[in-house]
Amino acid sequence: MSRQRKIALVGNPNAGKSALFNALTGARQKIANYPGVTVERKAGRFVLPTGEPVEMTDLPGAYSLEATSPDEEVTSKVIRGQFAGESAPDALVVVLDASNLEQHLVFAQEILALGKPTVIALNMVDLAQRDGLVLDPALLEQELGVRVVPTVAVRGRGLAELAEAIASAETRLPGPGITDLSLIERRVAAHAMAEGAILSETRRHRLHARLDRVLLNPWAGPVILAAFLFVVFQAVFAWATPFADALEGGVGWLTALSIEFLPTGLGRDLLTEGILGGVGSVVVFLPQIVILFAFILAMEASGYMARAAFLMDRMMAHVGLSGRSFIPLLSSFACAIPGIMATRAISDPRDRLTTILIAPLMTCSARLPVYAVIIAAFIPRQTVGWGVGLQGLVLFALYVAGVLGAMIVALVLRRSVTKGAASGFIMELPKYQLPRLKDMAIGLWQRAWIFLRRAGTIIFTVTVVLWVMLNFPQARPGESQVDVSIAGRVANGLAVVVEPIGFNRDMALALIPAMAAREVAVSSLATTYAVDATDEEQQAVELGDQLKARWTLPMALAFLAWFVFAPQCMSTIAVARRETNGWKWPTFMLVYLFAMAYAAAGLTYWAAVAAGL
Ligand SMILES: Nc1nc2c(ncn2[C@@H]2O[C@H](COP(=O)(O)OP(=O)(O)OP(=O)(O)O)[C@@H](O)[C@H]2O)c(=O)[nH]1
Ligand SMILES: [Mg+2]
């Protein structure tokens, strides 16, 4: 009896090969690993309409026969019959995603050039149709020289036709002109074929396809994304200024009013120094937070966010992370807490742990007040040419520093503590749409409310406690209140540790309450300087001017560098403990992040001093 014939399913990742395989072979499958590599080998039995039983193999997805990953290597070798212990398949079924035809046709041509009996499954026609695209399989058959069968693997549609085509696949030969093409030529041909095969297309689909061609282009896409983010950070400063000034004026006016009409005493001081001075200094950053979130929400609602994730997937793979980590990391730009909770969607435990450990490096919105107050005080409001503001540029650089830090940490972790291979990325790109104003307004209101609630609860409480610790014991005439206070003495202890990285006592003092939340660093500084003020006039000096008078530029830059890394957020640590079931990883996170913060601040300080800043 002759050997059972072998049929292999090939195609780009996510074309629906496994779905087709499952639909065709049903329960008659065997799953093992290919000998020597940990790549899944799925084989199953399948009976052709002619009654002939054949063996079907589901190959890992690949973009080309020139392998770049272990998965692709297996696919390439098996198809060519070069895999030890595996006989070459007798016929191939190339699975194409109809909604992504152009890209998938590039690989399909490479397969056809092998000259093996081949059938094409034009899969996911349901998705294409949903998006307003109808294709002509007959035209593709003509161009490719093999049978093209439309299928919907998940609904079992087109399977009988496909089986029939497989049974008669041997006699077919690849059409002329397909062999010996270079990659560029295959791309051009794929483009022409994909365009030519369109029977009908809605205007909207055409527009979306064009947008994707530009925004997802491997070269132009990342440049556009970077340019867009750059504009966002420019806007955070440029647009917020009038609103922030108005809020600042309001807080100043209230302070002046309280000083004029309330009797002198501790009660008034608590109001002016602690509540208005401290909490008020954080609240003035509301416009910046709102602008930042307006952009983030618009990116999400328009469908661009998913494209950004798609673009990032490659970069993430270089540091051993999958694109699955992108969404948790992206939400960490708002706040690491929802980000860490979103890692539950990552199935690989090491992938997930790595993502949790680097999530605090994404610049959360709590850092914005710290960054903004220091930048506004120390970075001149000037342009560096082409209308690019220096302040926005520095802010952009701080965000980039966080991301780069996270990438480096991920790279190191994936080679040591959380060793393992990166897993693939599956994500459906949503349709583009204009963000709805009402949804945006609701989303913005929610973010603003979260920020204000933090100001009213955690920041308020910590600032008041700090104010009390700054005011007791009371100084005798001639003594500095901050020097004799409890808080001042604790800070003096910490100052010894942070002196080598350029921090003064006031900065050390701000770091302690900021363990509760990063914004508290701003309210602490404001309160400390208000308490420290000898008279009312000095007390009314704005925080920015106080900082300018008391800090040098290298100190300010070191403080910024510190906050890029420092894990100063109690809630994040608590969530990390809950999500990793213990103290081991949160402790690890604290230690490594503080070490990085210390090193970064120190390097920044000494480099700035050496540069004569
Ligand atoms: N709507 C629709 N979804 C499909 C169809 N075929 C597959 N899918 C879905 O598309 C996703 C990817 O399908 P898979 O079968 O895993 O793709 P694959 O080609 O095996 O992917 P790799 O193994 O990563 O190369 C899954 O979520 C499937 O449920 C289809 O015809 N229509
Ligand atoms: Mg598969």
The conformation of residue 513, written as its DSSP 8-state character, comes to G
Q: What per-residue confidence (pLDDT) applies to 178?
A: 64
| Residues 187, 160 contacting (CB under 8 angstroms) | no
Residue 58 CA: nearest ligand 1 atom is 20
| pLDDT tens string 421-456 | 655 555 567 778 888 898 899 989 988 898 888 888
What are the beta bridge partners of residue 7? 56, 91
- Among the residue ranges 25-34, 489-498, 588-597, the one predicted with the least confidence is 25-34
CA of 17 to the centre of ligand 2 (A): 5
**Whose alpha carbon is nearest atom 6 of ligand 1?**
16
Instruction: Determine the average pLDDT of the residues in 274-294.
Output: 85
What are the beta bridge partners of residue 42? 31, 58
Q: Which of 9, 12, 14 to mutate to test the pocket of ligand 1 (most atoms within 8 A of CB)?
A: 14
- Give the H or E element holding residue 122: strand 118-123
Residue 74: pLDDT above 70? yes
Tokens of 142: 């003509």
| pLDDT tens string 450-491 | 888 888 888 888 888 888 888 888 888 878 888 888 888 888
CA of 32 to the centre of ligand 2 (A): 14
Return the CA Rg of the chain: 31
CA of 96 to the centre of ligand 1 (A): 10
Q: How far is Cα 169 from Cα 440, in angstroms, rounded to an integer?
A: 54
What percent of the chain has pLDDT above 90?
A: 38
Q: What per-residue confidence (pLDDT) applies to 176?
A: 57
What percent of the chain has pLDDT above 70?
A: 95
| pLDDT tens string 467-477 | 888 888 888 88
Ligand 1 pocket by Cβ (under 6 Å): 11, 13-19, 60-61, 123-124, 126-127, 152-154, 424
- Ramachandran angles phi, psi of 257, nearest 5°: -60, -45
| Residues 255, 275 contacting (CB under 8 angstroms) | no
Ligand that comes closest to the CA of residue 61: 1
Distances (CA, A) of 141 to 118, 175, 297, 415, 484: 11, 9, 44, 47, 87
CA of 139 to the centre of ligand 1 (A): 24
pTM of the model: 0.68
Q: What per-residue confidence (pLDDT) applies to 1?
A: 47
CA of 29 to the centre of ligand 2 (A): 14
CA of 230 to the centre of ligand 1 (A): 36
Residues 228, 234, 237, CA angle at the centre, nearest 5°? 145
| pLDDT tens string 564-590 | 999 998 889 988 998 999 999 999 999
By the 10 Å C-beta count (0-12 exposed, 13-18 middle, 19+ buried), 82 is classed as: exposed
With cut-offs at 50, 70 and 90, classify the pLDDT of residue 2: low
Which residues are CB-neighbours of 514 under 8 A, at least 6 positions away? 520, 521, 524, 568
Position with higher pLDDT, 477 vs 96: 96
Which residues are CB-neighbours of 329 under 8 A, at least 6 positions away? 339, 355, 358, 359, 362, 406
Q: What per-residue confidence (pLDDT) applies to 284?
A: 83
Residue 295: pLDDT above 80? yes
- Residue 177: how many CB atoms within 10 A of its CB? 12
Sign of CA pseudo-dihedral 317, 321, 322, 327: negative
| Mean pLDDT, the chain, integer | 87
Residue 153 CA: nearest ligand 1 atom is 31
- Give the H or E element holding residue 47: strand 40-47
Residues 299, 300, 302, CA angle at the centre, nearest 5°? 70
Q: How far is Cα 446 from Cα 448, in angstroms, rounded to an integer?
A: 5
According to DSSP H, which parts of 349-480 are helical? 349-358, 367-378, 390-415, 437-454, 460-471
Q: Which of 22, 123, 154 to mutate to test the pocket of ligand 1 (most atoms within 8 A of CB)?
A: 154
With cut-offs at 50, 70 and 90, classify the pLDDT of residue 17: very high
The conformation of residue 7, written as its DSSP 8-state character, comes to E
Residue 413: pLDDT above 80? yes
Q: What per-residue confidence (pLDDT) applies to 191?
A: 87
Q: What per-residue confidence (pLDDT) applies to 173?
A: 58
State the pairing for strand pair 91-97/53-58. unpaired
Q: How far is Cα 296 from Cα 316, in angstroms, rounded to an integer?
A: 20
Ligand that comes closest to the CA of residue 427: 1
Tokens of 16: 């629906």
| Residues 501, 601 contacting (CB under 8 angstroms) | yes
Tokens of 255: 């302070």
Residue 193: pLDDT above 60? yes
Residue 219, classed as helix, strand or coil, is coil
Q: How far is Cα 578 from Cα 508, in angstroms, rounded to an integer?
A: 29
| Residues 215, 304 contacting (CB under 8 angstroms) | yes
| pLDDT tens string 219-261 | 899 899 989 988 888 888 788 888 888 988 998 899 889 888 9
State the pairing for strand pair 6-10/91-97. parallel
What are the beta bridge partners of residue 55? 6, 45
CA of 95 to the centre of ligand 1 (A): 10
Q: What per-residue confidence (pLDDT) applies to 459?
A: 84
By the 10 Å C-beta count (0-12 exposed, 13-18 middle, 19+ buried), 537 is classed as: exposed
Ligand that comes closest to the CA of residue 17: 1
Residue 313, classed as helix, strand or coil, is helix
Ligand that comes closest to the CA of residue 131: 1
